[in-house]
Structure 1
Amino acid sequence: MEAIRDAAHLCIDMQNIFAKGGVWETPWMERVLPVISDLCARYRERTVFTRFITPERPQDRRGQWQTYFTKWQRATRSNLAPRALDIVPELARYSPPALIVDKPAYSAFFGSRLGHLLVERHVGTVVVSGAETDVCVLSTALGAVDLGFRVVIVQDALCSSSDTGHDALMTMYRTRFHEQIDLVSAEELVEMWHPD
C-alpha cells in the first residue's frame, strides 16, 4: 500500500451522546478510545473532529428526519444534557490545534464546511476513525469517495452499537470498495503516514 501524504485525520462523532450512559450509547467506544487518542496525539494538527448536532426540536428538520427525531425526542437539543454533543473529554483535549466541524446529518460533508476546509488545506487523503462504523463513518467515507479523496479507514479505531453492522461494513469495504477505500490497522497507519 502506498505511503500516506497530504492527509487529514477525520475523527467522526466521538461525542458524549455515544459514550457510556449517553442516549445513543455505543458499547465498545471505550475499547477504541485509546487507539483514537493515540492517533489524535500523533496527528493533532491534522485532526478534524466532527460532531453530529441534533435539532432543537423534531420540526426543525425536513422529511424523514422529523419522523426520526420524533422517535428520538430525547436526543433533541431541548432534551439533552448540556454537554451531550461535546467531544468526549479523552479526545477534546486535542482541540486546539485539532479542529471541530459540526454537521446536521450522517455525512461529515453534508451541510458542513468540511469539504472546503480540506480543499483549502490541500488534503488528498482522509484517514477515518470514530463512530459509528455503519452509520456516520459509512456516510462520511462514501461522501469522501464521491469527492475524490483517497480514503483510509483505521479498522481498530472504529466503533458501532451493532457488531453485525460493523462486520458487514468491513466486508463491504474489502469487497466492493477496495479500489477506493483502504483498511489499515493503527499500527500500519503509523508506518505509512509521516506528516512533514
Structure 2
Amino acid sequence: MAASGLVHGPLGPNCLHVCIDMQAIFMPGAPWGNPWMERVLPAVEELSARHARRTVFTRFVPATDPETAPGAWKRYYRKWEALTLRHVAPELVDLLPALARLAPPAAVLDKRVYSPWTEGRLDALLASGGIDTLVVSGGETDVCVLATVLGAVDRGYRVVIAADAVCGSADSTHDAAMLLYASRFSEQVEVAATEEILSGWS
C-alpha cells in the first residue's frame, strides 16, 4: 500500500523512534519466524542508526513457564511452552546484532505482552524527554505494532508509521493493518516511507 507521507509537516526535535521487537526469535527460520523481517531490517537499521539517541527498542520477553503467566496467557504458553524462558535459547530473545550494537545510546525496554504501555516505563521515558511524536517500526504490523500505535493514539502522540520498516508474518493481515492505519486513523496516524521520515526529521 502506498505511503500517505508526512501530511502534518516535518518532524520536530521532540520526536522518538520506537522499534518494536526486532529480535532473533522472529527472524525467518526461528520458532516465531517472520518472513519479512529480513526485508525491512535495512530500513529499521537506517532509522535507528541515524537517530540512535532518539530510539527505543522493545523486546518481547516470554513467560518463564505457562503457570507464571497471567490469565489467558497461560493457555498461550501451554501451546508455545518450548519458547518460554525455561526452554528457549536465551540469545533468541536478544535484539538482532545490527540493532543491538546501537544500544546504548539507544534504550531497550522489555515487555511481557504485546503492548509496551502496560507497565508504565515507556510513559515515564517519554514524559521525561518531552516527546510529542513517535515514529514506529518493527513487527508485527497487526499485533505488537498495532498495540503500540493504539496506545500512542490514546495518549495523544503524533504517530508516524514507517511503511517500509514494519512487517507482519501474514500478508493479508499486514495489508489490512496498513489500510486500517491510513483510513480509520487518518487524523491521528501518518504512514510514510523511511526516506521521507529521515528527510523530514531535523
TM-score by length of 2: 0.94
Per-residue CA deviations over 1:152-184 (Å, capped at 9, x if unaligned) read 000100111110110000111111001000000
Structure 2 residue matching 1:126: 3-state secondary structure = strand
Match of residue 140 from structure 1? 148
Q: CA RMSD in A?
A: 0.9
1:34-113 correspondence to structure 2 within 5 Å: 34-113=42-121
| Matched-pair contact (CA < 8 Å) for 1:40–1:94 | yes
Whole-angstrom distance in 1 between the partners of 2:138 and 2:44: 8
For each residue in 1:2-34, what CA deviation from the matched residue of structure 2 results, as whole angstroms up to 9, or x when unmatched? 111111000000011101222100011110111
Q: How far off is 1:139 after superposition?
A: 0.4
Aligned partner of 2:199 among 182, 191, 194: 191
Identity %: 48
Aligned counterpart in structure 2 of residue 4 of structure 1, from 8, 11, 33: 11
**After the TM superposition, which segments of 4 or more aligned residues of structure 1 sit over 4 Å from their partners?**
none
Distance 1:112 1:86 in 2: 22
Higher RCO (C-alpha under 8 Å, 6+ residues apart): 2
- For 1:112 and 1:76, the matched residues in 2 are separated by 24
- Kindly indicate whether the alpha-carbon contact (under 8 Å) linking 1:14 and 1:131 is maintained by their aligned counterparts in 2: yes
Q: Which runs of 5+ in 2 are unaligned?
A: 1-6
Structure 1: gaps spanning 5 or more residues:
none
What whole-Å deviation, never above 9, does each CA across 1:118-154 have from its counterpart, x for those lacking one?
Answer: 1100000010000100000000000111111111000
2:32 alignment partner in structure 1: 24
Paired amino acid for 1:68: Y
